[in-house]
Amino acid sequence: MPIEEMLRFNSQKVEKALEDFLPRQDCRQADLIEAMRYSLLGGGKRIRPALALEFCKVCGGREEDVMPFACAVEMVHSYSLIHDDLPCMDDDDMRRGKPSTHKRFGEALALLAGDALLSLAFETLLKSPAEPARVLLAAKELAAASGYLGMVGGQVIDLDSEDKQIDYETLKAMHAAKTGAMILAAARMGCYACGAKEESLAACTAYAKNIGMAFQVTDDILDVVSDAVTLGKSTGKDSRDKKSTYVTLYGLEEAKRMAGAFTKEAVDALAPFGQRADSLRELAFYLADRKN
Amino acid sequence: MPIEEMLRFNSQKVEKALEDFLPRQDCRQADLIEAMRYSLLGGGKRIRPALALEFCKVCGGREEDVMPFACAVEMVHSYSLIHDDLPCMDDDDMRRGKPSTHKRFGEALALLAGDALLSLAFETLLKSPAEPARVLLAAKELAAASGYLGMVGGQVIDLDSEDKQIDYETLKAMHAAKTGAMILAAARMGCYACGAKEESLAACTAYAKNIGMAFQVTDDILDVVSDAVTLGKSTGKDSRDKKSTYVTLYGLEEAKRMAGAFTKEAVDALAPFGQRADSLRELAFYLADRKN
């Protein structure tokens, strides 16, 4: 299956599952649920859930065990976007080509929709019919990856780094936490869903860390070379905000070379899975080569 | 043990456990952790953790099993206070007699400290050495109680109710969700920690629902009769904000009678536990009779 088709196929399944896990709106919290739906449904490439689904498949697991994990990861991603866009954070008016959640629903409801999505992520994950010990492993992974040393921690390094030149180590630590941790968690949760053995988990970890890096370097490149319509969000923002990026630190060509090197590392790490991991190989190339 | 002593005794143990569960600050996220510590440590009556600890004790459970649950509940409570105080929400400058988290650390860091505390709550809960099935039950309880139908959902009803007269049913639904859900969850998680039987869980549920109601009615009364120094936060805020409360709906005397009635219901529900639940009985009277 070509990679775009695999992503679309998984994305449709995830979209349906998200619909099922989202609460019904016939209650006093209808506005809140509307805001949660607005940010969660109908957009995004669903890369993180795809990683969870694919790793579970490659390791021989069942889709019903992993789907709650995949949806939980996407809910955390969605909550992070809502909070990132708030005026006290990045103050972004647009997201995925439409008004950001607080522009559409107001700040208070956006804040609460983000909060509620994080709780819902755990509620959803915990519905997995996988063995309790496996569900606990996945919940621990999600809690750590979303927290102070993971996604939120990366945001803090990002805030600290505004308007100043930062070094490679700091940039790498920021991205490993801010975007890398959840990409890694998604992939590993795919392995947990089926009780994958240590060797598989190690291969998965190496792959996910490297595509996380490649993904971020590519993000920095796209901010320079793409346009707002293709990207679905403002471009040139990094240089306006005087942010250090792989491009400002190393230049465009070297950044492209780095994205390629991380991608190769990722693909090499999949060796233990043989041909079963072909989709994951294609996904790595796709992410480094994407246009938005 | 007199009730104040019991609360102080539990509170000291919880404070120490919270210290242990909080991350160390020798990392790039030191500012974030400082903000998390600021809001989590050194304040509050620790009512919710006390409920978890006491119910576990009354049902014959082990303290090491329930302590991570008790701390998780307090972390969720603390995160909710940080987010509630933000300018886009209640815009409160003071909390527990000191500057609120965003006044002290700025809005962005306060938002992220709240977010990180919610993830840390789950991370902490999942460290309980209780049986996996019991830990899963507790995690599910926390996820539901903190989410769209629980604490966050109550906030949304509260937002919707500003500047308008609401009826008793709406007021009750708001409080049951906003404060009641986490009080109930704390108590029930105490039961889950030791695999308490159905009858105990039912008694616990009835008790916790009623003290939750009594607690909120008393909150509304204190907003009218107390002063800012005793209360540690602004008073008279409800009437300035034209909020409907038990006092505005029913008057002060009737509100006092209601607090008493809920308290009696709570105490009656403890019958199956016999004398073992004396601390919980005293706690119910204490909460309805408190000065801040």
How far apart are the C-alpha atoms of B63 and B54, rounded to whole Å?
9
Higher pLDDT, B24 or B239: B24
Contact A156 B111 (CB under 8 A): no
Count structural domains, chain A: 1
Rg (alpha carbons) of chain B, rounded to whole number: 18
Contact B116 A88 (CB under 8 A): no
Selecting from A111, A126, A143 the residue whose C-beta is nearest the C-beta of B123 gives: A143
Structure tokens at A111: 């804040």
Is the CB of residue A191 less than 8 Å from the CB of residue A59?
Answer: yes
Q: Domain containing B180: what range?
A: 3-288
Does the beta carbon of A34 lie under 8 angstroms from any beta carbon of chain B?
no
Predicted ipTM of the assembly: 0.95
Q: Could you tell me how many residues make up chain B?
A: 292
How far apart are the C-alpha atoms of B217 and B259, rounded to whole Å?
6
B232 pLDDT above the threshold of 70: no
pLDDT of residue B162: 84
Contact A152 B27 (CB under 8 A): no
- Strand ranges inside B156-279, DSSP E: none
**pLDDT tens digits, residue range B7-27?**
999 999 999 999 999 998 888
Nearest residue to A151 via CA among A187, A184, A180, A127: A180
**pLDDT tens digits, residue range B164-203?**
889 999 999 999 999 999 999 999 999 999 999 999 999 9
CATH of the domain at A99: 1.10.600.10
How far apart are the C-alpha atoms of A98 and A84, rounded to whole Å?
15
Selecting from B116, B122, B155 the residue whose C-beta is nearest the C-beta of A152 gives: B116
**pLDDT tens digits, residue range A138-193?**
999 999 999 999 999 999 999 999 888 899 999 999 999 999 999 999 999 999 99
Is the CB of residue A208 less than 8 Å from the CB of residue A145?
Answer: no
Q: Label residue A103 by pLDDT band (50, 70, 90).
A: very high
The torsion angle over the Cα atoms of residues B165, B170, B174 and B175, rounded to 10 degrees, is: 90
Structure tokens at B268: 């009656």
Does the beta carbon of B136 lie under 8 angstroms from any beta carbon of chain A?
yes
Residues A204, A207, A213: CA angle, nearest 5 degrees: 135
Write the DSSP assignment of chain A as a string of letters. --HHHHHHHHHHHHHHHHHHHSPPS-STTHHHHHHHHHHHSS-S--HHHHHHHHHHHHTT--HHHHHHHHHHHHHHHHHHHHHHHSTTTT--SEETTEE-HHHHH-HHHHHHHHHHHHHHHHHHHTT--S-HHHHHHHHHHHHHHHSTTTHHHHHHHHHHTTTS---HHHHHHHHIIIIIHHHHHHHHHHHHTTT--HHHHHHHHHHHHHHHHHHHHHHHHHHHHS-HHHHSS-SSHHHHTT---HHHHH-HHHHHHHHHHHHHHHHHHTGGGGGGGHHHHHHHHHHHH---
